[in-house]
């Protein structure tokens, strides 16, 4: 069993909005940094990007905001590999802080492995990365289901 490292975020004062808590977009920035750490873990790090001109592009992101986050909160992001194929990775990130018992946010990303040339094109990931992904997906599947999951955003009427 293999797990991804926990990402610990240091909040900046400029990220706090007029409501006195973390502006919605900065949850995304924290999650984006957490995904950078996931990339390093998968071997898609700066050296790999330099050597191969390959990297990951984000295709989609969804965030559920579950609780206010304040400047004094130390955020921890637990990431997991929810799914993958030869070119794509579906990552989930749960945000937690000591003040609140349940997750304060949940984010999902769909990432695609891309060769950056004149025209960027999707490309199969290296076997070593696919091997790590397989282990991480098994590990995530053995744990609690990721919740709340991404979905169509809509006002439902009864």
Sign of CA dihedral 150, 151, 156, 158: negative
Q: Which residues make Cβ contacts (< 8 Å) with residue 90, sequence separation at least 6?
A: 81, 82, 83, 84, 108, 109, 110, 111
Residues 103-132 that bind a copy of itself (CB under 8 A): 108-110, 116, 120
Q: Does 31 bind a copy of itself (CB under 8 A)?
A: yes
Least separation in angstroms between CB 103 and a copy of itself? 14
* DSSP 8-state code for residue 106: E
Contact pick of 16, 29, 100, 130 for a copy of itself (by CB under 8 A)? 29
CA 10 from chain centre, in angstroms, equals 16
Least separation in angstroms between CB 153 and a copy of itself? 4
Q: Contact region for a copy of itself (CB under 8 A) — 2-10, 62-70, 93-101, 125-133?
A: 62-70
Q: Whose Cβ is closer to a copy of itself: residue 18's or residue 127's?
A: 18
> Given the structure tokens 């977009």, which residue do they identify?
25
| Burial category of 109 from C-beta neighbours within 10 Å (exposed 0-12, middle 13-18, buried 19 and up) | buried
Take residue 36 and report the two structure tokens written for it.
């950078």
Coil, strand or helix: which one is 52?
Answer: helix
Contact pick of 3, 23, 40, 48 for a copy of itself (by CB under 8 A)? 23
Binding mask 63-92 for a copy of itself (x = CB under 8 A): xxx--x--------------xxx--x-x--
Which residues bind to a copy of itself, rule: CB under 8 A? Answer: 18-20, 23-26, 28-29, 31-32, 46, 49, 55, 57-65, 68, 83-85, 88, 90, 108-110, 116, 120, 149-155, 157
């Amino acid at each position: 069993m293999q797990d991804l490292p926990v990402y610990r975020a240091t909040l900046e004062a400029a990220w706090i909005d007029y409501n006195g808590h973390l502006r919605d977009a900065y949850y995304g920035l924290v999650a984006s940094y957490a995904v950078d750490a996931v990339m390093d873990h998968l071997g898609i790090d700066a050296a790999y990007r330099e050597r191969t001109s390959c990297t990951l592009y984000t295709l989609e992101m969804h965030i559920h905001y579950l609780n206010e986050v304040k400047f004094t909160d130390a955020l921890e992001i637990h990431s997991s590999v929810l799914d993958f194929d030869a070119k794509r990775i579906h990552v989930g990130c749960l945000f937690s802080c000591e003040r609140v018992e349940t997750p304060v946010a949940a984010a999902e990303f769909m990432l695609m492995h891309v060769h950056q040339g004149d025209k960027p094109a999707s490309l199969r990931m290296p076997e070593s990365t696919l091997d790590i992904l397989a282990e991480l997906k098994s590990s995530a599947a053995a744990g609690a289901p990721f919740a709340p999951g991404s979905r169509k955003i809509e006002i439902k009427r009864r």
